[in-house]
Amino acid sequence: MQYKTQAVAKPYFIAAIGLFVGQILFGLIMGLQYVIGDFLFPAIPFNIARMVHTNLLIVWLLFGFMGSAYYLVPEESETELFSPKLALVMFWIFLVAGALTVVGYLALPYATLAKLTGNDLLATMGREFLEQPLITKVGIVVVALAFLFNITMTVLKGRKTAISMVLLLGLWGLAVFFLFSFYNPDNLVLDKFYWWWVVHLWVEGVWELILGALLAFVLIKVTGVDREVIEKWLYVIITLTLVTGVIGTGHHYYWIGTPEYWQWWGSVFSALEPIPFFAMTVFAFNMVSRRRREHPNRAATLWALGTGVMSFLGAGLWGFLHTLAPVNYYTHGTQITAAHGHMAFYGAYVMVVLCMISYAMPILRGRAANSDKAQVVEMWGFWLMTVAIVFITLFLTGAGILQVWLQRISATPLSYMATQDQIMVFYWLREWTGVMFLIGLVVYIASFFIGGDKKAATA
């Protein structure tokens, strides 16, 4: 590693992977509750398991983003981190706060947790993905501000590259849009309208800037292609992302009480959202094929290419599948949405964080790349998890298509639960594929503990 303060990234990456394991375990619990309804009831009701599953996802991705930023920014800025001590303090605060929140979810009834944590002062809890108690939300803001301060100061005192500017913009956007989670009017339509300013403008907006910056950084490192070339394509791709994605928020405003013109605005712009993802795929493959060096870390290259392909499939293609208003009329709020959500999150954000970890972790451990043996195991983890998520998505899509047909299109529509009984087989298949994902994750983690001949320690 070029700057010794980059080392603060390491605990962030380790925590990210640890929480990732938790996320998957709770995913498996939920998957089983889909088929064996009373599994673990009443110890862990489905809503609690889901909250843990999605909140852990968000938190570990945030750990991943922060670790990536702490690794990337000193190297891009060519200077030591402004305050490695602050970074470590914030790490522990965030980890402890996150752990306490999860313990709170599991140990207390949610209503009790709400009462104990001041939800009566400012009601923000109980909305999808924003279930965190008020104090946790405030904690997230504090940690984010301290983190942004640290990163921004580092960039300001050093070299300002396109990659670090884009990353910074994405991270600031992340913090700014999170503030809308504190706005929870009684008016349900307004509540939902601005709820999407957090959720959509995160995942189809500012997070994509982070994704682009991290991917560009790794591509420069592993391919040796000119920074100038990679950075200008980065700008082009994220321009396309925001041109389509910001107004694309409209695809959430079809059926929640918002005016009907959103059906047109949302359809037109979100129909174009696959384009930047496609551009990113082409970009990643192009840069790798134009590479000027054979970087010993082939696993990192694989993750980078995987991010390109899977984000296009998950976010681009599976998003397009149900984004047009006339289609969405039937698919809104079904397993189709779940299918899209799983592959999009994995393809775009899980993979880019794992890509960054794959590139940076060997260097943080004092070598340019892991041994061939360890890399082969890591790639096994890659393929197991990636193939598993593809099949999870396919099975959920199958479940969704049948659900839409039986419950919403057929001449004699079935009730919700009667429909669920009919599509049980897909949920079973999804659960077994989930087990495959877990095996992939275990293999991935095992790769960190495999020795063998290390590659030269030049970084």
Partner 1 sequence: MLAADTPLPSLDTPPAGTPRLAGDLAIWIFILAELLAFGAFFAAYAFTRAHHIELFTHEQQALNRITGAINTMLLLTSSYFVVRAVQAAERSAPAPCARWLVAAIACGVGFIVIKLHEYSAAFERGVTLSSSPFHMFYLSLTFFHFMHVLLGLVILSALWLGARAGRYRPNDMNGLESGAAYWHMVDLVWLVLFPLVYVIH
Partner 2 sequence: MSGIFTKAMARNIFYGGTVFFFLLFLALTFNTTRELPQRDNRAKLTPAVAAGKKLWETNNCIGCHTLLGEGAYFAPELGNVYKRRGPEFIKAWIKAQPTGVPGRRQMPQFHFSDADLDNLVEFLKYSSEINTSNWPPNIEG
In the complex, the residues that contact partner 1 under the rule CB under 8 A are 221, 224, 226, 228-229, 232, 235-236, 239-240, 243-244, 259-261, 264-265, 267-269, 271-272, 275, 290, 292-296, 368, 455-456, 458-459
Which CB atom, from 339 or from 350, has the smaller least distance to partner 2?
A: 339
Which CB atom, from 129 or from 448, has the smaller least distance to partner 2?
A: 129
Please report how the helices 335-344 and 372-404 are oriented relative to each other, as an axis angle in degrees rounded to 10.
Answer: 160
Count of positions on this chain that bind partner 2 (CB under 8 A): 77
Q: Which of residues 362-391 bind partner 2 (CB under 8 A)?
A: none
CA quadruple 270, 20, 10, 2: dihedral sign: negative
Q: How far is the CB of 178 from partner 2 (least distance, A)?
A: 17
With a CB cutoff of 8 Å and minimum separation 6, the contacts of 236 are: 279
316 counts as binding partner 2 under rule CB under 8 A: no
**Contact present, 119 and 134 (Cβ < 8 Å):** yes
How far, in Å, CA of 397 to CA of 67, rounded?
A: 34
Return the half-sphere exposure (C-beta side, CA atoms, 13 A cut-off) of residue 73. Answer: 34
42 counts as binding partner 2 under rule CB under 8 A: yes
Considering only residues 122, 145, 236, 442, which one is a binding residue for partner 2 as defined by CB under 8 A?
236
Largest CA-CA distance found in the chain, in angstroms, rounded? 68
Helix-then-strand count for the chain, H and E: 19, 0
Q: Which of residues 242-301 bind partner 2 (CB under 8 A)?
A: 242-243, 246-247, 249-250, 253-260, 262-263, 265
**Contact present, 323 and 267 (Cβ < 8 Å):** yes
Q: How far is the CB of 421 from partner 1 (least distance, A)?
A: 38
Amino acid in position 373: K
Q: Which does 408 bind (CB under 5 to 8 A by kind): partner 1, partner 2, none?
A: partner 2
Which CB atom, from 111 or from 425, has the smaller least distance to partner 2?
A: 111
How far, in Å, CA of 145 to CA of 86, rounded?
A: 11
60 counts as binding partner 2 under rule CB under 8 A: no
Q: How far is the CB of 38 from partner 2 (least distance, A)?
A: 5
Q: Which does 238 bind (CB under 5 to 8 A by kind): partner 1, partner 2, none?
A: partner 2
186 counts as binding partner 2 under rule CB under 8 A: yes
Which CB atom, from 66 or from 279, has the smaller least distance to partner 1?
A: 279
Q: How far is the CB of 17 from partner 1 (least distance, A)?
A: 25
**Contact present, 169 and 206 (Cβ < 8 Å):** yes
122 counts as binding partner 2 under rule CB under 8 A: no
Return the half-sphere exposure (C-beta side, CA atoms, 13 A cut-off) of residue 356. Answer: 32
Which CB atom, from 104 or from 296, has the smaller least distance to partner 2?
A: 104
Length of the chain: 459
Which CB atom, from 412 or from 458, has the smaller least distance to partner 1?
A: 458
145 counts as binding partner 2 under rule CB under 8 A: no
The residue behind tokens 């293609």 is 317
**Contact present, 91 and 81 (Cβ < 8 Å):** no
